[in-house]
Structure 1
């Protein structure tokens, strides 16, 4: 017995398929929005924007790494479900067919997040998009400056440390002298971040140099340390030191002119 497929030209089969199952316009994921950085304890919204064409959504699923933690299946009696993944705390009420809300993010919440969109039978087209999120634990205080004295003589060595305590990841530190970024390697003492018992890190950057006249415009030098983490944390601490024995300009002028005097309306140089 000859089958219908054997008697039907290939082009006719394609036409029948299109009539039965609609347009061949593909499923498309248009955008995946995963916050690049979040502060520990904050709320994070992950979005998966997609275009179904003429198809119908079967499911939207979210994964952290390879572990699924959320699904939305509109045909089910219970459309939304969550699955236990460490560090992933889903706000089920606020989540939907496009986005999933994470509450109280932790350091272990950091990772790669994937959304998977699947269309209904019979094709079950599948598309996947992803993004990375890093959770940051901010330093417990602004940078701390230690070692700098209140005054220095010309030619004296300055030795100071800048510390940014207890963060994850460790802060990036920079020194400035009179608002000029210090880039000379010989001025800087770099240290590996200190590992703290709770998994946080303390960053330290040393500064050492010998003072010159250029360091003391108007008899004062400003030392500043800046701590940064990614694009969401910026704090600085500054101190001012003076040049030992510095005389303000007016005093210097008076001293320089004290070798001259007036006598009966005539001007004489000191000692003739």
Structure 2
């Protein structure tokens, strides 16, 4: 390789290095957008930059989508200018804002989207850097979740059918059912699409629950249904309802011991029970219904042990 060729390569590398340094002269080092934000709340947008290689900031701009709403030009007076955005999704607190730190007020659902910070250098490079971050705005329900469909009383093994709704929010709340503080069996849940509330942009979440009222659910008294509604990390509310049975709460239903066989007779004359119990490496199935009433059935009952078998 002759000297002329080496000189040309060296010159080309120096030019590329110089251009690279120019490009790297102005950098955005950090961008912060609050999320989630509740409708009506305030927040701070932050865009930090670093000036290098003799480049100085000519202007810093904030955009929501494609619309500019804030500009800081340090060489002009006033240095801060604001611009209206369609739908007025936010208000800029001009007195509190400076450089890339902007205070926004009265946020609406329309402020959900991509925010972009753009920094441009002075002449002659006019080099521009930009960075983006996303904001989510939530509109919380005005009331607790609502439980409907709960009857005054139920028979054992009767289906309990309940709906839970969380009215008017965006996004729709996530609903969860609990029975006696235990998450409901997924097979008992009935899923429904959110209901749109006119042109407000709000939606009502609905979740159904259908389950058989089993004795084990009544061991500590009425079965307690709880529905919780959550929206991201900004909202958590719950409502509860008690499910009562027509059957007296005997010790056998509570999961304890029957006091005597008469209690068994009273309980079994009211409901149809299927009891399974393993005894001496064998099992039996005991069926008793309303039709079994009579002296012989009473005699069989009196011969039963007073220890209550586990009810399924």
Residue 32 (structure 1) shift: 1.1
What corresponds to 1:143 in structure 2?
Answer: 145
Q: Is the 8 A contact 2:23 2:127 kept in 1?
A: no
Residue 237 (structure 1) shift: 0.7
Q: TM-score, normalised by structure 1?
A: 0.81
Matches within 5 A, 1:122-133: 122-133=124-135
Matches within 5 A, 1:73-222: 73-86=73-86, 87-184=89-186, 186-197=187-198, 198-222=200-224
Matched residues in 2 for 1:63 and 1:113: separation?
6
In structure 2, do the counterparts of structure 1 residues 72 and 196 end up closer, same or farther at CA, with 3 Å as the change threshold? same
Q: TM-score, normalised by structure 2?
A: 0.71
Unmatched runs of 5 consecutive residues or more in structure 1: 1-7, 260-269
Aligned length: 249
Q: Which of the pair is proportionally richer in strand?
A: 1
Matched residues in 2 for 1:136 and 1:13: separation?
52
Q: Is the 8 A contact 2:26 2:56 kept in 1?
A: no
Matched residues in 2 for 1:146 and 1:220: separation?
17
Matched residues in 1 for 2:178 and 2:232: separation?
19
What corresponds to 2:267 in structure 1?
Answer: none
What corresponds to 2:229 in structure 1?
Answer: 227
Q: Which of the pair is proportionally richer in helix?
A: 2
What corresponds to 1:29 in structure 2?
Answer: 28
In structure 2, do the counterparts of structure 1 residues 247 and 125 end up closer, same or farther at CA, with 3 Å as the change threshold? same
SS of equivalent to 1:218: coil
What corresponds to 1:45 in structure 2?
Answer: 44
What corresponds to 1:241 in structure 2?
Answer: 243
Matched residues in 2 for 1:24 and 1:104: separation?
38
Moved more, 244-253 or 50-59: 244-253
RMSD in angstroms over aligned alpha carbons?
3.0
In structure 2, do the counterparts of structure 1 residues 12 and 31 end up closer, same or farther at CA, with 3 Å as the change threshold? closer
Matches within 5 A, 1:49-68: 49-54=48-53, 55-68=55-68
Residue 90 (structure 1) shift: 1.1
Q: Tell me: higher relative CO, structure 1 or 2? Use CA pairs within 8 A at least 6 residues apart.
A: 1
Residue 118 (structure 1) shift: 1.4
In structure 2, do the counterparts of structure 1 residues 183 and 155 end up closer, same or farther at CA, with 3 Å as the change threshold? closer
Residue 107 (structure 1) shift: 1.2
What corresponds to 1:266 in structure 2?
Answer: none
